[in-house]
Chain A
Amino acid sequence: MRSIYGLAWHNLNAHRVRSLLSVLAVILGVSVTIAGSIIIESVREGVLKSDELRVLMEGLISMLDPAMLFIGIAVMMAGGFLIFNTFGMAITQRRQQIGGLRALGMTQGQVMRVILAEAALLAVIGVVLGVVLSGVLGQVMVAFIKQIAGEMLAFGDAAPTLPVVVFAAVMGLTITLFSVLIPARRAARVAPLDALRKPEAAGVEGISRWKTALGALLLTALLAYVIAAPPGEWVTYPLDFTLTLLFIGLWLAGVGLVLPALISLAARLGKRLMPGTIGRLVTDNVQRARGRTSLTVFTLAFALLVLIGLTGFLKFFLLYGIGSSMKPAEEQNALFITRVDILNGWGATIALDLDSILLTEEELQAILDTVESSAYTVSSYFVVVPEISFLGDAYFSYMLDPTLARNTQSMFTFTEGDWDFALPIMEAGCGVLVVPAVAARHNAGLGDTISVTGRDGPLECTIAGIGSGVAGASIISDTVRDQITDMNPALVLVVPYADTDPVTFQAALDALVTTYPTLHTVQITGFMVVLEDSLDIVNVSLNAMLLLATFAAAFGVVNTMMMSMDERRHEFGLLRAVGTTRTQMRNLIISEAALLGIVGGVVGFLAGIGVLVIIVMTYGLNSIGVSQNLWAAALASVQPAAVMGFVGVIVAPMIASLAAWLPARGILREKPVAAIPRLQ
């Protein structure tokens, strides 16, 4: 050993299993983050053969980016909890040693640096392996999604990009180091005299009443507030986002504060079910070292909460938000005519390049000739105008003839302004209809002018209306078509007149499709089903990724259990020496862990539903100009999430029991004498 940093290596090496688990946590976080981006890239490559097409679809696909990023961060955070707990416990256990080092002349700074060096070493190993393994994980996940998606989605080849790798690596390092900051400071504060105190296993600790009360107050107040006066009804961009984040944070804090009391409650209930000495020991044991026990349970609950929250939020935002913007068109039995056979899945686009998607002049004319007498028609150009994109800057917008758009009555629903105000503006020059979030982003109101990117430089456009467009897209008038695009329309929206006979109309459409086999008619109703199916696939895929967060949480449980088993070696030896059988010991340990697992599962389930309700009621849909009954949307979004969560309630105790049983086996195999403390 050449320097004090050799101590760091020694410490890691002396506790290989816990070091390994910490490294695994970092690996998971880093590789999931990168794999997420591989999956998205692969979808991009698969759907989009040509660059022009990619530009148009980018917006839809980029909606997955934040979800994947969120999952990566969630996994990383579960890993962070694990590392925090591991180092916290290790420092409690090493108190005497650290005191000894301080007595020998190690400064506080040196102690801190040794601990940070340990963490840095773990982080670097984890990041490197995480980057290496991310490619494999990405391919496995893509293969998995291919299996469940079938024809619905197409995938191409993708490799991680440098910025993503750098981001994941930096995040891995930062979260690891951040997680050990508090434990390291605690280590530095260990007094030299602690070297002379015998380390003690933690005793049963009391609960801070005011913390429990504060937590309970926070939880009830938050829920009561968002239910009684949903901020989602009035909140606007960008406050909607900030407020939702704040509430999620408060909710998590509340859960953390009441958790110790919930564990005690569960322990007391458990005592009823498990009478006798073993029951008594179980109840006492789960109430020891509350800090770390709570954090372990919290990690489990957190993984479950994220699972429920994300699944539910996607359902809410995509189906009730963006999906509901299609409701008016659906009610009018609208359909669109396009060359893409969307009803057979997005995979159909794989064979197409841009030219084969755009309608030819001949087809356009044929469509108009067929339906003009019995329906409103709008030829829709897909364009990407960053300034009016509602998600990021790559979401598509429609370019349409404003008069035709008005006639359909289903292309745009105004929250500010109306067609009478919008039409003159849109016919005179560049007028745009945008969602509230876009207007807010430009700090602009009705009638204000914003500058957008045209083909030959900036273009001044006036906000002619604010509200919700089909699929969240903004609308730009086709008066300035030459300055925005030189492509043909990709679809024609067809809204039958109220008095059109459905049978003859359908016959006409059938005839059209027979004459032009390249064309497909897509009923909005059918399209909604496709959307829901795609959403399900996205959900399953995301859940599969989130399962890895549950893994990280499970590693945390294994680690905490292992370390407390180690700490309680003497205690176990004593129990064995006075005649407790191995079977009794095993039951004791497994019951303890299962009890914690059950609390984690149930709390995660309930807190997950709570957080989803809070997100829905707080975020609302104002930013995309949709007004919905939020309460109904919340209830509907909770259902699929609740199924996932329920699985978690059953799986969490199993994970926890297994996590405890593994380390306990080794210790119980020893003869009781091994547990008798030696001088050292």
Chain B
Amino acid sequence: MTAVLQAEKLSKQYHMGTVTVDALRGVDFHIEAGEFVAIMGPSGSGKSTLLHLLGGLDNPTSGDVLLDGRRYRGMSDDQLTLIRRRQIGFIFQFFNLLPTLTAAENVALPLVIDGKRPEPEHVSGLLALIGLGDRHDHKPHQLSGGQQQRVAIARALVTQPKIVLADEPTGNLDSQSGQAVLDLLRRACDDHDQTIIMVTHDHHAAATADRVVFLKDGSIVNTLDMNKTDGKTRTQTVAAVMADLEL
């Protein structure tokens, strides 16, 4: 298998007046097509920063990201935007649904932006998949937090993107809604060969992935291959590594 997404010596510094924060310090990382990777680490370790750089939402201070071997560096804003539009689906912790659009319209939005005519069955199918088949015409404020989050996931999947980037998609959800979201992501990976990168604080969520990458102070400090870990102790194994990091 080949790396669909690759980070090369990725660094990001934030300058706040005289203080410089090293959010990422030369991260090397690659993920193969159809892989489901979880990123864990203490608060402030650079997880979100890494995800944003992988998705082309921000420029690194140094290093580069390659998607299918194509470098982000040197791409124009429009080129990067097209990559986001067609190849990547985002799920944020805060949902960014458009408040004036219905659930169905929100899901269809990426297609509309791409100038495509969304097929109603496709959108309905996705809404049904996330268990909101009867909430087609509801506005975001008429949905619960968990339901909104699921709409955002359906939206990230609507273009059938090669890669889905999710930042704490279960962070605001109860365990039942959280599990539904994880199942959805797992299915996207298993059934549709989509590549998933998910930032999470939840040991159990991380254990759903194929691989868990641990960040601390902007560097990758550990990696766990879940497929080589005993199915019953996965959550505990992840928890143990995290406990170590947080010491």
Contact = CB atoms under 8 A, between A and B. Distances in A.
21 contacts: A1-B105, A1-B108, A2-B117, A3-B112, A14-B100, A97-B96, A100-B92, A101-B109, A103-B55, A103-B57, A103-B90, A104-B85, A104-B155, A105-B81, A105-B82, A107-B82, A191-B58, A193-B52, A678-B141, A680-B95, A680-B99
Contacts of A192: 57-58, 84
B78 interface: yes
Contacts of A191: 57-58
A129 interface: no
Interface residues of B, dominant DSSP = helix
Contacts of A679: 94-95, 145, 148, 172
A110 B57 contact: no
Interface string B80-107: 0110111000101011111111000100
Nearest to B57: A192
Contacts of B114: 105
Interface stretch (A4-12, A168-176, A532-540): A4-12
Contacts, number: 90
Nearest to B141: A680
A2 B115 CA distance: 8
Contact of B96 (A6, A103, A110): A103
Given A7-B98, A103-B96, A104-B155, 5 more contacts: A4-B115, A105-B114, A107-B81, A108-B78, A680-B148
B140 interface: yes
Interface in B118-161: 140-141, 145, 148, 155
Interface residues of B, number: 37
A121 interface: no
B110 interface: yes
A220 interface: no
Contacts of B100: 10-11, 13-14
Nearest to A101: B113
Contacts of A109: 78
Contacts of B90: 103-104
B111 to A, nearest CB: 10
Contact of A195 (B82, B96, B109, B110): B96
Given A2-B117, A679-B148, A107 B109 contact: no
A105 B86 contact: yes
Given A3-B115, A4-B113, A105-B113, A193 B57 contact: yes
Contacts of B113: 4, 101, 104-106, 110
A315 interface: no
Contacts of A14: 99-100
A339 interface: no
Contacts of A92: none
Nearest to B143: A680
A2 B113 CA distance: 9
Contacts of B145: 679
A196 interface: yes
B183 interface: no
Contacts of B225: none
Contact of A680 (B58, B81, B140): B140
A570 to B, nearest CB: 15
B101 A1 contact: yes
Interface string A170-192: 00000000000000000000011
Interface in A95-150: 96-97, 99-110
A655 to B, nearest CB: 31
Interface in A646-680: 678-680
Contact of B112 (A6, A13, A193): A6
B190 interface: no
Interface in B52-70: 52, 55, 57-58
Contacts of A193: 52, 57-58
Contacts of B81: 102, 105-108
